[in-house]
Structure 1
């Protein structure tokens, strides 16, 4: 199932949604990850170790040191992995508002992790960006 590739349609219909969970970013080796009782929001295997994104509560419960808290904003439009310009457009808008964005492009949706204290401002920026393309 392929998603949308038209940039204007993507921007107009991105419909950002925040799940109001606090997330943390942690890093660990494979053995440490295998011992966890965490269901990560995201797992990325890097040369230096595993990057785990999970709720702060799960990481703290497992005594895992992490960076955060972050809010996860999901763009609910089904964007194609071949779409060009969506990440650049929202990252530029967030950057212009001095909001750092850590982006995960998953199969169906883009997920933007922002500092917890910036979540409302980030939602406003993304909603304004969508309105500007309707």
Structure 2
């Protein structure tokens, strides 16, 4: 199945969904994730293995973590080579002062935002989907 590339369609049909729970970022310099943890994402970096976990798992395992975040999934199947989608949604959040850490996976894009701002971020993204013409200046999709 091929993902969507058209920015207007991506914005109009992204259907953001706030996932239950709180998520955190951890790092393991030796790349050994403690037994029993079920990361939702990992990425190997020069400094070690970056891991995104549910907050309660990190607390139970006693591992250090940062950035307690809500997870918003943009449920449209976006193409891995779509241009401007994450730039447009992150610009909306940036204009509202909401930090965003994006993870582009095979089917969907996922946004990690501060837990206390997650509902506001969801509302802003839903408004963009309802009226993509309301994007910040410089973030308008090209006319087709």
Same-fold status (TM-score > 0.5): yes
Q: Is the 8 A contact 1:56 1:68 kept in 2?
A: no
The alignment of Structure 1 onto Structure 2 pairs a total of residues equal to 133
Partner secondary structure for residue 25 of structure 2: strand
Partner secondary structure for residue 128 of structure 1: helix
Q: Is 2:48 aligned against 1:46? A: no
Q: Is the 8 A contact 1:74 1:111 kept in 2?
A: yes
* CA distance, structure 2, for counterparts of residue 74 and residue 108 of structure 1: 10
Q: Is the 8 A contact 2:4 2:82 kept in 1?
A: yes
**TM-score, normalised by the number of residues in structure 1:** 0.95
Structure 2 regions of 5+ residues with no counterpart?
A: 134-144
Partner secondary structure for residue 118 of structure 1: helix
Q: Is 2:96 aligned against 1:100? A: no
Deviation at 1:37, TM superposition (A): 1.4
Deviation at 1:31, TM superposition (A): 4.9
Matches within 5 A, 1:1-134: 1-33=1-33, 35-133=34-132
Deviation at 1:132, TM superposition (A): 1.1
Partner secondary structure for residue 45 of structure 1: strand
* CA distance, structure 2, for counterparts of residue 57 and residue 32 of structure 1: 19
Partner secondary structure for residue 10 of structure 1: helix
Deviation at 1:43, TM superposition (A): 0.3
Structure 1 regions of 5+ residues with no counterpart?
A: none
| Root mean square deviation of aligned Cα | 1.2
- Structure 1 stretches of 4+ with a deviation exceeding 2 A read 29-32
Partner secondary structure for residue 32 of structure 1: coil
**CA spacing shift, 1:128–1:31, aligned 2, 3 Å:** closer
